[in-house]
Chain A
């Protein structure tokens, strides 16, 4: 693997910005999967509620 840098230095320099610090396309896709899963689960629960508590 690559050369090493002590964790202490990483923590001390955590405020310093570097190029590419915000390039995270994979995480963005994971977040979309989470959002989709939430939407399905949330609306399935509203459906379950509607099944037992009918409004006429």
Chain B
């Protein structure tokens, strides 16, 4: 199917076919600042398009930096290879965390916010100048952080727990990234406001935009935590004030560190809904329930960050239990709701197309050769089955005592952030490039395979980490053999098998990541143009 529009596949005789589509309200775009997507029929604000492109390209560059760091780390944690010297291990670990967890994802999320507030609401972007300011602050800040790390002036890991102290430019860079992102988020809020004021859409905003709004609200709270913790630390690094209290630092820092991952989760869920619609024609199962789940994220996700402090002596047991065994479960409930409604919406859509055989005929007939769909569904499965299950378990205070600071923790969050968020964003990219850059992918057979390679690598790596952690292997540790120590200390041979799995999985995931970047860069700069026609369907 290559003509007209994307096949979202309503079955012949579908009840909705006869119903006329709602009348499209007029947008608020200035003359000449709008095009209509030939594939989806969605309006595209040309100013927003420019910034979606900029943020997406820079995001992929930081993904590459973080990915190179990742393979170096995986090959160091694999004792049989043990690639990096100790100094560079911690340096590259700092680089990896910040580029993968913060820069790649924040840049991509701002692109999502601009898309969700303009194309889905038929609105112009509130301010081009503000968008430039936000983008420039983010870019300059991220470059400052990376250069400072590579110069060896900030080997403090992503958490940079005091009394570890980095170069002032490291903290200033983080502050600039936070302020730049906040600027982009407020541009998104302003766009929502002018769209409402100008009545560019009718009724409630679409669910995807609502999810983006939830992500924006959580991002604001998150980045304010970042400012509260980073500004005094920055001043301390300049010797302008005393060292911040270490326990206070850890508490407030996780308001940034954990919540930033919940911005990712919320944005990822929004991307799931969008990819479900664009690849199978799915509609949200129940608006009230889905929106209620996003509200649960807003209300409870901040309190859930307490699970990072479950063995911290600075806070008491009652505080830990309330935040992790009550508040956290309400945030988990939200993920469980989405974990049901997203695949259920796909099932409903597929059944309406006529794929009604048995319990799973709809799943077997799903468009698995479409990398947008496969990335989305694999992301859903990895996030739920590996990331979700391990997360809830590790977040239990008593169980946490046998897992804290072991490799089980990275085993969990690589399944959520990489297998979940990054894979979903990759799936979205397979539509962003043809629809926003208006360029087609080359080597489409490889593109169809890429999500499977990446997902398989991440699953292997995550399982390797988790089981190695179960043997007691610590996280953030350069040499678990303690080479040259006066007392020998070894781990069970099973731990080494699992660390080997980590290395192999990491290598496979890196191949998948590199394939994604090569395919995307080739498409953006050398792909055939599809201007004036619909994209070639996957």
Pick the contact of B10: A2, A28, A30, A38 (CB < 8 A): A2
Among the 9-residue stretches B26-34, B262-270, B395-403, the one with 4 or more Cβ atoms under 8 Å from chain A is: B395-403
Q: How many Å lie between the Cα of A6 and that of B402 in the bound state?
A: 52
In the complex, residue of chain A having the shortest beta-carbon distance to the beta carbon of B342: A27
Q: How many Å lie between the Cα of A22 and that of B204 in the bound state?
A: 21
In the complex, residue of chain B having the shortest beta-carbon distance to the beta carbon of A27: B344
Q: A22-B285, A26-B363, A49-B401 are in contact. Are A4 and B6 (CB under 8 A)?
A: yes
Q: How many Å lie between the Cα of A18 and that of B282 in the bound state?
A: 12
Interface band, chain A:
35 or more
Q: How many Å lie between the Cα of A24 and that of B339 in the bound state?
A: 13
In the complex, residue of chain A having the shortest beta-carbon distance to the beta carbon of B358: A26
Pick the contact of B19: A16, A37, A53 (CB < 8 A): A16
CB distance from A4 to the nearest CB of B (A): 5
B40 at the A interface (CB under 8 A)? yes
Identify whether the interface residues of B are mostly helix, strand, loop, or mixed.
Answer: loop
A42 close to B40 (CB less than 8 A)? no
Q: A11-B208, A15-B203 are in contact. Are A6 and B41 (CB under 8 A)?
A: yes
Pick the contact of A7: B8, B352, B401 (CB < 8 A): B8
CB distance from B416 to the nearest CB of A (A): 15
User: Considering residues A11, A23, A28, which has the most beta carbons from chain B within 10 angstroms of its beta carbon?
Assistant: A11
B401 close to A53 (CB less than 8 A)? yes
Q: How many Å lie between the Cα of A1 and that of B352 in the bound state?
A: 12
Among the 9-residue stretches B68-76, B173-181, B384-392, B517-525, the one with 4 or more Cβ atoms under 8 Å from chain A is: B384-392
B351 at the A interface (CB under 8 A)? yes
Identify whether the interface residues of A are mostly helix, strand, loop, or mixed.
Answer: helix
Q: Mark A19-40, 1 if CB is under 8 A from B, else 0.
A: 1111111111111001001100
Q: A4-B7, A20-B351 are in contact. Are A45 and B362 (CB under 8 A)?
A: no
Q: A2-B10, A12-B22, A49-B399 are in contact. Are A7 and B348 (CB under 8 A)?
A: no
B511 at the A interface (CB under 8 A)? no
Q: Mark B325-353, 1 if CB is under 8 A from A, else 0.
A: 00000000000000110011001100111
Q: How many Å lie between the Cα of A44 and that of B351 in the bound state?
A: 37
A8 close to B42 (CB less than 8 A)? yes
Closest 7 A-B residue pairs measured CB to CB? A6-B41, A8-B41, A24-B344, A7-B40, A9-B21, A27-B344, A24-B347
